[in-house]
Amino acid sequence: MKLGYTILYVKDVAESVAFYERAFGLTRRFVDESGQYAEMETGNTTLSFAANKLAKSNLPSGFQENNLSSLPAGIEIGLVTEDVPTAFTIAVEAGAIAVAEPKVKPWGQTVAYVRDRDGILVEICSPI
């Protein structure tokens, strides 16, 4: 098997697509006319958004909705860039919530963390 895509459940798919375009420079690949699902161009693995309403129809036992007022879920989206400090600044200026400023890790990678408008944790990092 191989990882094909990651789906983030969000309140508003169109708003999330627009935010990820502004904050992280991603490009939309596909937006379903229903407004319930979208995909972004991210390289080999697709980053997708699905509306909470769609998640509820797929997961009849329920799920934990992402929310800025709660701690982030125990998962993150990692976006790789050559210039972490600039990408971090752009993301925060676009409305991302700063969690951790860029820091060089012992293994040499520069890493920063923000949360998106739904409270999803996003790592902005340099290549390993």
CATH number of 5-125: 3.10.180.10
Could you give the percent of the chain with pLDDT greater than 90?
93
Instruction: Give the closest residue to 98 by CA, choosing from 85, 112, 110, 84.
Output: 112
What single letter denotes the amino acid at residue 8?
L
Residue 35 neighbours by CB under 8 Å, 6+ apart: 13, 14, 51
Confidence of residue 68 (pLDDT cuts 50, 70, 90): very high
Is the CB of residue 71 less than 8 Å from the CB of residue 85?
A: no
What length is written for the chain?
128
Compute the average pLDDT of residues 63-86.
94
Q: What are residue 123's DSSP bridge partners?
A: 78, 113
pLDDT tens per residue across span 91-111: 999 999 999 999 999 999 999
pLDDT tens per residue across span 8-43: 999 999 999 999 999 999 999 999 999 999 999 998
Compute the average pLDDT of residues 55-61.
92
Residue 127 neighbours by CB under 8 Å, 6+ apart: 80, 82, 109
Residue 2's pLDDT is 87
Residue 96's pLDDT is 98
**Residue 84 confidence (pLDDT) above 90:** yes
Is the CB of residue 48 less than 8 Å from the CB of residue 61?
A: no
Domain boundaries, the chain: 5-125
Residue 44's pLDDT is 86
